[in-house]
Amino acid sequence: MKHYPHPKFAKEGWLFIGISSSLALAVLFLAGFLPALPFILVAVFVLQFFRDPARTIPQDENVILSPADGKIICIEKAHDPYQNVEALKISVFMNVFNVHSNRSPVDGEVLDIQYFKGKFVNADFDKASSENERNAVVVRLTNGVKITFVQVAGLVARRI
């Protein structure tokens, strides 16, 4: 097993972390703890949202891992429109308290990447996977099997 090199926080979050923390500290020093409490809570939320913890990655070939923290909300046979084949669909829903750093679920050769602009409806709704902004990646593993993984933006997390 190998540790994935990473920062402690996603680079996309540093601006939000800086602004929310600075604002919380400014209100704390200027007005005291009670008026600063809502700002401190927002800063803590922003910190936990953009955290990027280390993950231990198995070095076995042809292993498929979860690309994200969250809850599995669906396991079903479905049509994969990106490869035009029948496939097993496994959907992972991330709430606002889950780590939002995604990783590739497999080691392999990227064959295709398709990005789609879209809406930002609640990612918990079925229509989100076809209407929301999303990014689909088709990868071939060393054993020749191809998988597709799709990142779908949501109501709160709007970037892919």
For residues 95 and 119, membership in a common domain is answered with: yes
Domain's final residue, options 49, 70, 85: 49
Query: Within a domain: residue 160?
Result: no
pTM confidence score: 0.77
Q: Tell me the Cα Rg of the chain.
A: 19
Range of the domain at 120: 62-152
CA distance between the termini of the chain: 28
* pLDDT tens, residue by residue, 87-136: 999 999 888 888 888 889 999 999 999 999 977 776 666 666 777 889 99
- Which residues, including other chains, have CB under 8 Å from residue 25's CB and lie 6 or more apart? none
51 beta partners: 9
Whether 157 is in a domain gets the answer: no
pLDDT band at 41 (very low <50, low <70, confident <90, very high): very high
